[in-house]
């Protein structure tokens, strides 16, 4: 582990050496935007785990499985910045300030996120701000919820005979936007697998829009809650039955997969048994 740590620091210091000169090189820390995966601590990458093992500060929210914090050293500062702290723009600006402040104080900072930092994770905003502030930083990808939910449900997101495209969509757009940028009717026409993030509360409305846009009411949908966690739940619906879904019956976080591939576990029982692996 010691050798690995030196290698990583060399990598960061090398970048700084070119950009900032030797004086700052010794004092500047770094920020790793780490994708923690869907919740099961075994589903973080080796690189992500290494960054946690070396962290002086970890800044996390509820989507990152809390068990991942056990990889951090005992004296690592753990800073919670999740929903209880508010999700408005000021909170996001505060998180960025925090990352920059700790890195400038010479610390190895991990910004731990659920899934992948670049998929509905505000990773782009944070990375941009860090680069503008000339903080050495990197992105460590993670297993996104759609991949974990698909694995849990035994639903291959692509299939040679059924789907050659996958779309990741948010069902919960920024409420400040005046109009929805998601044209559900156009997605209804695609012969693609749709993976809907953050759609739990609006799923009935979304299903109705897809049907209105031309998608078959009998199209299959899988609602996967808490994928990869011990209390994972998987339920199969048709699009028509989704329109009657009571959001209170769904545990959060939930990922919804819609498309022809979702039929496969009912046709190939071996696929349906995959969920038992977790
Ligand atoms: N960056 C994350 C997504 C953050 S948006 C990623 O790549 O997965 C938050 C949404 O992700 C949730 O509302 C839910 O739709 C989905 N999600 C995250 N973890 C999940 C899990 N374990 N099971 C099901 N859905 C999950």
**Phi-psi sector, 84: left (phi>0), alpha (psi -120 to 50), beta:** alpha
61 noted as active-site residue: yes
Name the nearest CA neighbour of 126 among 104, 94, 102: 94
State residue 31 phi and psi, 5-degree precision.
Answer: -125, 130
d(CA 199, CA 68): 26
pLDDT for 182 equals 86
Between β-strands 30-35 and 137-140, what pairing exists: parallel, antiparallel or unpaired?
parallel
Q: Is the CB of 48 under 6 A from ligand 1?
A: no
Active-site residue, selected from the candidate residues 5, 83, 97, 191? 83
Residue of 114, 195, 254 with the most ligand 1 atoms within 8 Å of its CB, for mutation: 114
pTM for the complete prediction? 0.87
Q: Is the CB of 114 under 6 A from ligand 1?
A: yes
Segments of the chain with pLDDT less than 50: 1-19, 21-25, 278
Question: How many whole angstroms from 197 Cα to the centroid of ligand 1?
Answer: 6
- What does the pLDDT look like over 224-260, one tens digit per residue? 999 999 999 999 999 999 999 888 888 999 999 999 9
Q: Is the CB of 254 under 6 A from ligand 1?
A: yes
pLDDT for 59 equals 96
d(CA 105, CA 62): 26
Q: Is the CB of 255 under 6 A from ligand 1?
A: yes
Q: Quick one: how many helices (H) and strands (E) in the chain?
A: 11, 10
25 noted as active-site residue: no
Active-site residue, selected from the candidate residues 50, 61, 113, 219? 61
pLDDT for 3 equals 36
Angle at 174 between CA 171 and CA 178, to 5 degrees: 110
Active-site residue, selected from the candidate residues 40, 116, 198, 219? 198
Residue of 42, 45, 63, 206 with the most ligand 1 atoms within 8 Å of its CB, for mutation: 63
d(CA 183, CA 84): 31
Q: Which atom of ligand 1 is nearest to the CA of 117?
A: 1
Sheet of strand 193-197, all strands in order from the earlier edge strand to the far edge:
166-170, 193-197, 254-258, 220-225, 233-238
Name the nearest CA neighbour of 191 among 211, 229, 163, 218: 163
pLDDT for 64 equals 79
Structure tokens at 7: 């290698």
State residue 224 phi and psi, 5-degree precision.
Answer: -115, 115
Residue of 87, 253, 257, 258 with the most ligand 1 atoms within 8 Å of its CB, for mutation: 253
Angle at 221 between CA 243 and CA 224, to 5 degrees: 105
22 noted as active-site residue: no
């Amino acid at each position: 582990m010691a050798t690995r740590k030196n290698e990583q620091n060399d990598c960061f210091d090398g970048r700084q050496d070119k950009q900032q000169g030797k004086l700052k090189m010794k004092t500047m820390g770094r920020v790793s935007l780490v994708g923690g995966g869907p919740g099961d601590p075994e589903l973080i990458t080796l690189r992500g785990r290494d960054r946690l093992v070396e962290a002086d500060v970890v800044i996390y929210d509820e989507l990152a499985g809390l068990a991942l914090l056990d990889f951090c050293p005992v004296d690592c500062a753990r800073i919670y910045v999740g929903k209880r702290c508010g999700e408005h723009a000021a909170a996001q600006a505060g998180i960025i300030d925090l990352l920059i402040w700790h890195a400038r104080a010479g610390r190895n900072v991990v910004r731990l996120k659920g899934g992948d930092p670049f998929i509905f994770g505000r990773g782009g905003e944070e990375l941009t701000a860090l680069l503008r502030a000339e903080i050495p930083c990197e992105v460590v990808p993670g297993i996104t919820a759609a991949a974990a939910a698909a694995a849990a449900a035994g639903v291959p997101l692509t299939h040679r005979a059924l789907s050659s495209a996958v779309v990741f969509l948010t069902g919960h757009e920024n409420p400040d936007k005046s109009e929805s940028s998601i044209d559900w009717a156009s997605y209804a026409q695609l012969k693609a697998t749709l993976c809907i993030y953050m759609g739990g509360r609006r799923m009935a409305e979304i299903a109705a829009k897809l049907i209105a846009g031309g998608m078959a009411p009998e199209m299959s949908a899988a609602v996967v809650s808490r994928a990869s966690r011990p209390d994972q739940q998987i339920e199969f619906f048709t699009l028509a039955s989704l329109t009657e879904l009571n959001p209170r019956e769904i545990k959060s976080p939930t990922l919804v997969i819609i498309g022809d591939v979702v039929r496969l576990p009912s046709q190939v029982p071996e696929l349906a048994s995959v969920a038992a692996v977790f």
